[in-house]
Amino acid sequence: MRHHRFRTQLICVLFLVCNFVCHEKCLKTVASFCSGVALQLIKNPVAHSWSEPGHIKRHFCCVCRKKTDDSNCVECEVCEYYVHVDCQDLAVSDCKEAATFVPSLDKSSQVQHHHMREGNLPKDSKCIVCKKLCSAESCLAGMRCEWCGQTAHSTCYRKMENECDFGLLKKIMLPPNSLTIPRTELPMEQLLNIHRGQREGGISPSKIAPDEVSASSADDPKEREDTELLRIFDGNNSLRTQVYRTVSVQKTASVQQIRDAALRRFHIQDTPELYYVTQVVNEEGAEELLEDPVPLRNVKRPEGRRAQIFLRYKDDPEKTVVKVYGGWLRIPVTFCSLTVTKETLVQEVISEALSKFGIEKMTWNRYNLIEVSLDRGVAERTVNPQENMLQLVRNLRKDSLRRYHVVRFYLQEKEDPHDHAVFVGNMPVSLAQRQYERILLKLLGAKEKPFTAIGPIYFEYGSLVITFNTPKAASAAVQRLQNAVYEDKKLIVLCLPNVQPHMLAKNVEPLLVLVNVKSGGCQGVNLIRSFRKLLNPFQVFDVLKGGPLVGLYVFRNIPKYKILACGGDGTIGWVLQCLDIAKQDAACFSPPCGIVPLGTGNDLSRVLRWGGGYTGEENPLDILKDVIEAEEVRLDRWAVVFHEEERSQPPTGQPEPSHGDPTMNNPEDQTSMIIMNNYFGIGIDADVCLKFHNKRDANPERFTSRIFNKAQYVKIGLNKFFDRSCKDLWKRIEVEVDGKVIELPNIEGIIVLNLLSWGSGANPWGTAREDAQFQKPTHSDGLLEVVGISDVSRLGMIQSKLAAGIRIAQGESIRITTHEEWPVQVDGEPHVQPPGTITILKSALKAKMLKKVKKSRRNTAPATPQQMRAVQSEGSPSTSGVHPSSNLMVEHQLTHGKSTPDELHGPDEDEEGDAFL
């Protein structure tokens, strides 16, 4: 009966916690553990990463088994664990064990087992064993593996094979047995780079007006007169922090009744006779025994407060029994029980436990005893080998009985295969290594270097990696630096995992997922949660926390992997630029990159068939399957070199390069360079783009809606009918293509294209009609297309896909000479360029991209429902940003917009006649 205790009516006697009910005929098939004892049954505890409290619909609490709709709940952002805030005390710390590498075991001996979670199955899930439906909408039922997604009935899942092969995603999964994380005292959320401002390691027990809340529980006035509310403390620490729980008892209650009520309130399922209660008599914590027959008659009540009661354990001063777990040693024995006395030291406990585990006891000095607390998370502490074990246990009981019952002692090897790398970002850019070292030493408050190595240093971003010898030193550095501020900037500090590439199978190409959570109206928030649940959470990174360089550093030793960049065109360019920087020290020089389009323009995404924008309705599992099937293609990249004429004052409106701009500057000769992936513009298009950016920068809080943003573009475009500042552009600049001067037509703007997608899917080049003068353009032909825009009305028609621009030239290099300031844009980032020359040349930097396979070409063998993991979306939030070349004719888009994803794809280089018109 899996640790449930039933009455004759077949309700678990711990029903105040468990709520487990079953038919008498079904008793033999009960597979779930009782919530009252499940916390003590974990073999290897892994902390959950809780979301902010909120209302979660259509799910069930994994503790009390009731619906989550009606009260505040939290969910784990890594696994399918949902729990009411009030039930969080009994939440089982059994999150996905995502890093299990052990140096003493080779690849052939490490086996990945299923990680089964009960209930909350996707609709229409089928049992992998009996092939029948196993999901339920009315109760917590069925089992699902958090790794491979296979589902089964609670009565069938034990017939499944023990080994898990990661299912549909095995080709891109980063296996846990190839990964280590630092053995530190840092919370799991910090290791996973999940940060929230309001909570740390869970929601603390409520102490906000507990008397008032509990007093309302008795509605009958007479009942309130006959009962008394008591504050219960489970130890000295809870009294110091004033974290207590209240119980309501009869005023005539006996000491035994008060004790039993306190045990229930702290969810302690133990022999009641081992406990007693005392009253707190003063602020210093002095206590007196409560005595029958009516203990509450003479209890002390501080003025204006409830009576305060201690729940205590009857300690044996001579000996006690402790359990020591093998856990991370990967041995078949879960734990051993040892009797310790007043003379027993921790090192003796280690030696005796090793003997019982079948390990040579003489090697005890190679192991540590780790105190692991499962109280609302997992917290670790290395115990001093010379500490007295009995006194340690007694102190735990005296400080907090609740915490004592969720504390375990684990053996752990001192030798740690991890290199203890710490990423530090948001420092000043382009300093020397010695300067960075001095800054770190000052912030760490150390005279000598506590780290063993520094580097790589990403000078362009003011980011670096420092390496420590021990986890204790790394943990101390992270805790010291995470709140440090330098030059009014808070540092970004991350403790990084380590990948063991020799543990990867030959056919595995792990996927590095980089998500910009603020792109697309913050759609990335839901997307990053989904990817963390589907994949190993340590292969999913938020680029706003340290940038793409963090993930690229973690994957630096993997010989072959793929990248999935989730964001707008700016994010994709940022990822490619960081890849250019990091590839010099990486085993994989050029990993292919796929796209989830979260921006508004998404022109590169359209050309590579990833669509015009993520709506929130797509199943993230389908996106990952598309990545597995995608084909690799080459993307031309171009260097845009700006050389200014000599000037005495800086140009007006020149912005500082952002952290995501691939820009290199030389202040001496006033030359700068930007890497272009998509397109370049000068004149009217860039002017509209610049005015929009200036307007948004002035009031960013207003530009949170895609419709509003496009409406602003329309308004700015209409104003250009009266503001003809770009008039006669064709007379005021000179254009050379492949060294040949081009005679320009009467135009107000020029667009230089690398892609046949611009301004959210428009095609200024026009259809791929027969043209003897020009080759058919592609994104990998080594050629650029030069297009002219005659006026603002033609610009609007191009962006509305009603017309094309004026084809001017096609070539391998472009040179534009100006004698006055002009607005320009590169991949949608605008600025005012002073007089000088602008040269666009083929860059030596290459990029491999992943192109989505068309459905007609895809091997369409259908996946079985039990293999599919439905990742539910909360809808499609509005987009906060807008591509700088969005549609000027928003009214036409609203009435004649595309209706299917395939219609939003850009033309392919292998398809004659594809067009946007």
The answer to whether residue 129 scores a pLDDT higher than 60 is yes
Which of these, 57, 36, 38, 65, lies nearest to 140 by C-alpha position? 65
**Hunting for tokens 């860039």 — which residue is that?**
686
Bridge partners of 840? 640, 814
| CB 833 within 8 Å of CB 642 | yes
Which of these, 51, 50, 16, lies nearest to 34 by C-alpha position? 16
Task: Give the Cα separation of 174 and 158 in Å (integer).
Answer: 26
The answer to whether residue 472 scores a pLDDT higher than 60 is yes
Helix (H) or strand (E) holding 463: strand 463-467
Tokens for 649, please give them.
């004052």
Mean pLDDT score, 61-80 = 89
Which of these, 410, 382, 411, 348, lies nearest to 473 by C-alpha position? 382
Angle value at C-alpha 418, between 412 and 424, nearest 5 degrees? 125
> Is 228 in a helix, a strand, or coil?
strand
- What are the two backbone dihedrals, phi and then psi, of residue 628, each rounded to the nearest 5 degrees? -60, -40
Global confidence as pTM? 0.82
Question: Which of 537-546, 690-699, 841-850 has the weakest average pLDDT?
Answer: 690-699
Mean pLDDT score, 773-783 = 87
Q: What is the per-residue pLDDT for 874?
A: 33
Q: What is the per-residue pLDDT for 759?
A: 81
| Amino acid residing at 896 | H
Structure-model confidence comparison of residues 813 and 417, the more confident one: 813
DSSP 440: H
Mean pLDDT score, 239-258 = 88
| CB 174 within 8 Å of CB 112 | no
Q: What is the pLDDT of residues 295-347, one digit of tens each?
A: 888 787 776 678 888 999 998 889 999 999 887 777 778 888 999 999 999 99
How many whole angstroms from its chain centre is CA 730?
49
Axis crossing angle, helix 389-399 with helix 346-356, rounded to the nearest 10: 100
Give residue 903's pLDDT band: very low, low, confident or very high (50, 70, 90): very low
Q: How many helices (H) and strands (E) does the chain have?
A: 21, 42
DSSP states along 162-225: SB---GGGTTT---GGGEE---SSS-HHHHTT---SS-SSSPPPP-SSHHHHHHTT--SHHHHH
Give residue 387's pLDDT band: very low, low, confident or very high (50, 70, 90): very high
Q: At a CB cut-off of 8 Å and minimum separation 6, what does 291 contact?
A: 255
Q: What is the per-residue pLDDT for 365?
A: 81
Task: Give the Cα separation of 460 and 473 in Å (integer).
Answer: 28
Residue 643 CB-density burial (10 A; 0-12 exposed, 13-18 middle, 19+ buried)? middle
The answer to whether residue 907 scores a pLDDT higher than 80 is no
DSSP states along 503-561: GS-TT---EEEEE-TTHHHHTHHHHHHHHHHHS-GGGEEETTTT-HHHHHHHTTT-SS-
Question: Which of 279-293, 641-655, 801-815 has the weakest average pLDDT?
Answer: 641-655
Question: Which of 46-60, 360-374, 661-675, 731-745 has the weakest average pLDDT?
Answer: 661-675
Q: At a CB cut-off of 8 Å and minimum separation 6, what does 894 contact?
A: none
Give how far Cα 312 sits from Cα of 277, 396, 403, 469, Å: 6, 11, 13, 42
Kindly state the percentage of the chain with pLDDT values over 70. Answer: 79
Give residue 898's pLDDT band: very low, low, confident or very high (50, 70, 90): very low
CA dihedral 260, 261, 266, 267 (to 10 degrees): 70
Residue 573 CB-density burial (10 A; 0-12 exposed, 13-18 middle, 19+ buried)? buried
H helices of 559-642, in order, are 569-582, 603-607, 620-629
Task: Give the Cα separation of 744 and 731 in Å (integer).
Answer: 8
Give residue 895's pLDDT band: very low, low, confident or very high (50, 70, 90): very low
Helix (H) or strand (E) holding 634: strand 631-635
Q: What is the pLDDT of residues 830-846, one digit of tens each?
A: 999 999 999 999 988 88
The answer to whether residue 221 scores a pLDDT higher than 60 is no
Q: What is the per-residue pLDDT for 304?
A: 63
Mean pLDDT score, 669-680 = 88
**Hunting for tokens 């002009």 — which residue is that?**
822
Average pLDDT across the chain, whole number: 80
Task: Give the Cα separation of 147 and 152 in Å (integer).
Answer: 14
**Hunting for tokens 């605008």 — which residue is that?**
830
Q: What is the per-residue pLDDT for 856?
A: 59
Give residue 206's pLDDT band: very low, low, confident or very high (50, 70, 90): very low
Q: What is the per-residue pLDDT for 296?
A: 83
Tell me the pairing of strands 562-567 and 593-597: parallel
| CB 565 within 8 Å of CB 552 | no
Give residue 511's pLDDT band: very low, low, confident or very high (50, 70, 90): very high
Q: What is the per-residue pLDDT for 289?
A: 87
Give residue 499's pLDDT band: very low, low, confident or very high (50, 70, 90): very high
Q: What is the pLDDT of residues 785-813, one digit of tens each?
A: 999 998 888 888 887 778 888 999 999 99
Give residue 457's pLDDT band: very low, low, confident or very high (50, 70, 90): very high
Task: Give the Cα separation of 906 and 611 in Å (integer).
Answer: 8
The answer to whether residue 634 scores a pLDDT higher than 90 is yes
